[in-house]
Amino acid sequence: MTYRCHVSFDIVCVSKGREVLTIMEYEIVNLEEKIIVGLSARTNNMAPDMGIVIGGLWQQFYSNSVYEAVQNKKNDKALGIYTDYAGNEKDDYTVIVACEVTDAEAIPEGAVKGTIPTGKYAKFIVKGDMHKAVAAFWQQLWNMNLPRNFICDFEEYQNSDMENAEIHIYIGLK
């Protein structure tokens, strides 16, 4: 079943700010546990260096050959995982840049093993410029009234086309 949620938020234009009504569609899905291997860091959405922390993880994941070193990948999709929330989106959380694996016996040096828990998630599909579309999505999500559990949320990158990306974003629900 697909749900529609009307979200009102501010978009800052070059010349002026204006309020825009956006419709974000999502479906409720039940997922089985996923085993992941990747790099992690602790951050906070209010921290001035949050973007540097998360961007740095992505850079390390690919430029330090961690992605290539992960064995037993289930597929070639990269994951951005947000977990271990201290409270809600305004509190500290752990971010993990990872791959889903079938077996996490061999873990590259400096990497961590983890899981995306079984559960109910709201699944959104975001398309467009990889950085701008994902950032805009999170801004809109923070204005939605979803019954989030703040246990685990994640982004699943369907392709690596920076300008025409398709990202499936899963938000953990109560």
117 to 2, 86, 153: CA distances (angstroms): 22, 17, 10
Is residue 64 over pLDDT 80? yes
Comparing 100 with 21, the larger pLDDT belongs to 100
Is residue 128 over pLDDT 70? yes
Which pLDDT score, from 0 to 100, does residue 160 have?
85
Is residue 8 over pLDDT 50? no
DSSP string, 127-168: EESHHHHHHHHHHHHTTS---EEEEEEEEEES---SSSEEEE
Rounded mean pLDDT, 98-105 = 96
The structure's pTM equals 0.87
Comparing 62 with 22, the larger pLDDT belongs to 62
Which homologous superfamily does the CATH classification assign to the domain defined by 29-173?
Regulatory factor, effector binding domain (3.20.80.10)
Is residue 117 over pLDDT 90? yes
Is residue 90 over pLDDT 90? yes
Is residue 20 over pLDDT 80? no
In the numeric block, the tokens 């978009």 are attached to 11
**Beta strand extents in 32-132 (DSSP E only):** 34-44, 73-83, 92-101, 112-116, 119-128
How far is the C-alpha of 89 from the C-alpha of 47, rounded, in Å? 12
- pLDDT tens, residue by residue, 45-56: 999 999 999 999
Which pLDDT score, from 0 to 100, does residue 162 have?
87
Work out the burial of residue 148: count CB atoms within 10 Å of its CB; fewer than 13 is exposed, 13-18 middle, 19 or more buried: middle
